[in-house]
Amino acid sequence: MRTLEILQSTFVVPSENTPRERLVLSNLDLVAVRKHNCTIYLYKNNESAKDFFSVEVIKSALAKTLVLFYPLAGRHVIGLDGRDQIDCNTEGVLFVVARLDCTADSIQFEPMSPDIRELFFAKKPQSSSLLQMLQVTYLKCGSVVLGTSNNHILVDGRGAAHFFQTWSRIARGDLTNIVPPSFDRTPLCARSPPKISFNFPEYTTDESKKESNPKPCVLNLFKLSKEQIRHLKIQCTKHSNKTFVSTFCVVSALVWKCYCKAQGLALGSNSRLYFTADIRNRIHPPIPNYFGNGVIRLSATSEVSKITSSQIGEVAGTVKSVIDGITDEFIKSFIDYMEVMREKKISVISDISESDLRIRTILGMPIYDIDFGWGAPQLVSWERCTENRVVYLMNEPGEDAGIKVVVSLDSSTMKQFQKVFYEELKLFSDE
């Protein structure tokens, strides 16, 4: 039985005056999942430093960081026009300090059980409008777990990484590479009149896809080495006309193919792979330092028989062609589509069927750069065992490291998936 002791629970506010304003959220914000994104960072105190993860240092740096990222210290509210807004009222970020009577080595961080995972996150009040919650948990061995919860309605993973990177740099005194965020939603405003040139099946509600009795799911961790990824990419270029395929495309293709086989889907049916893509550098003009939701949900679809029998390069090509189609006009059509749906009060959050799979990725994000002055995190965990048919992709630390693939499936499908996954990898390694 692990005992968590709360030592401190306060609100940290910006250290200087910040703009008092209402930030009207964009259509990309409004379509984001209404949940807090939760991430765990494990920091090991290998040198037994006495001031390791000093609360004073961390809180002082947080207050300074909130001057730049002041909307995080505000609250989610509904405007008079019924539209979601952020009231930049400087009420602050919830900051909790806790102690857990166990060592880091006694905790299974990958994959982590839901009951253990919940120990490391600040508990939000009922119907909370908080945008950012943080918990620093000191372990018996001297190590520290930083649990972060940020409200998805304000910001996506890339924006959150920008905040944490800035906070850690200020904490360690590195003020040379601070990049201020932009909160300007103007580039993401709908056109008048709206012009919708594309279809968006990922946002079409289909009541028939809802599961009446969803199966409980389990998490499993699969690791792909840099060498294995290289082999996969070679196969992609060898059996297709593609000269380059990204790590995301090739790994997504592998996982999609394995899932279709493991689930035993009817060969004549279709399967859809859902994923998101960042639009910050695809919209014109680009918005590289934008702090908000800058992603669009996409999907690749194909007949199951084609997915399971095709070379990996063909499956990866199906994913790549969808990503290549994200043009400026596509993005603006999507924003217009969301505006029309919002005005009609039509729900655009769709459920997926058992033939479909979702990929969530933070590949390429600087998650291991979050160094507060005592070294980089030894481990980062962000998956959650609450949804079936979801796959999480993230880099492992180090230049020569591979990637982690965390899969959430029902237990019977998971057993078959594991078998198929390693069979597929062996095929590529043997060629």
Average pLDDT, rounded, for the chain: 90
Same fold, 4-180 and 214-430: yes
Question: Cα separation of 27 and 297, whole Å?
Answer: 13
Q: What architecture is the 4-180 domain classified under in CATH?
A: 2-Layer Sandwich (3.30)
The two tokens of residue 419 are: 């078998």
Q: Rounded to an integer, what distance in angstroms lies between the CA atom of residue 176 and that of residue 157?
A: 23
Domain boundary assignment for the chain: 4-180, 214-430
The amino acid occupying position 142 is G
* pLDDT tens-digit series, residues 226-237: 999 998 998 888
The DSSP symbol for 53 reads: T
Does the pLDDT of residue 261 top 80, yes or no?
A: yes
Q: 299: closest CA among 278, 317, 318? A: 318
% of the chain beyond a pLDDT of 70: 92
**Domain covering 214-430, topology:** Chloramphenicol Acetyltransferase (3.30.559)
Q: Which residues are catalytic?
A: 152, 371
What pLDDT sits at residue 210? 57
Four-residue CA torsion sign, 369, 372, 375, 376: negative
- Predicted pLDDT of residue 51: 86
User: Global pTM?
Assistant: 0.93
**pLDDT classification of 425: cutoffs 50, 70, 90:** confident
Rounded distance, CA 323 to CA 151, Å? 26
CA distance 98 to 112: 19
Judging by DSSP bridges, how do beta strands 295-303 and 270-278 pair with one another?
Answer: antiparallel
Q: What is the identity of the amino acid at 420?
A: V
Give whole-number Cα distances, 336 to 195, 403, 406, in Å. 6, 36, 34
Q: Is 400 exposed, middle or buried (0-12, 13-18, 19+ CB in 10 A)?
A: exposed
CA atoms within 13 A on the CB side of 377: 22
For residue 212, with 0-12 CB atoms within 10 Å meaning exposed, 13-18 middle and 19 or more buried, which class applies? exposed
CA angle (225, 253, 282) in 5-degree steps: 100
Q: Is 126 exposed, middle or buried (0-12, 13-18, 19+ CB in 10 A)?
A: exposed
Residue tagged 């196969």 (tokens): 235
Question: Each residue of 95-140: pLDDT tens digit?
Answer: 999 999 999 999 998 888 888 888 999 987 655 799 999 999 999 9
Please, are residues 139 and 97 in contact by the beta-carbon 8 Å criterion? no
Q: What is the pLDDT of residues 266-303, one digit of tens each?
A: 999 999 999 999 999 999 999 999 999 999 999 999 99
d(CA 245, CA 430): 21
Task: Look at strands 132-139 and 22-24 and give their pairing.
Answer: unpaired
Residue 73: the pLDDT is: 97
Please state, as a whole number, how many other Cβ atoms lie within 10 Å of the Cβ of residue 232: 24
* DSSP string over 140-156: TTS-EEEEEEEETTT--
Helix (H) or strand (E) holding 98: strand 93-100
Q: Three-state DSSP class for 314?
A: helix
Q: Is the dihedral of CA 62, 121, 92, 79 positive or negative?
A: positive
Six-digit token pair at 10? Answer: 């306060």
Q: Say which range, 206-210, 272-276, 289-293, 350-354, has the weakest mean pLDDT.
A: 206-210
Residue 213's pLDDT is: 66
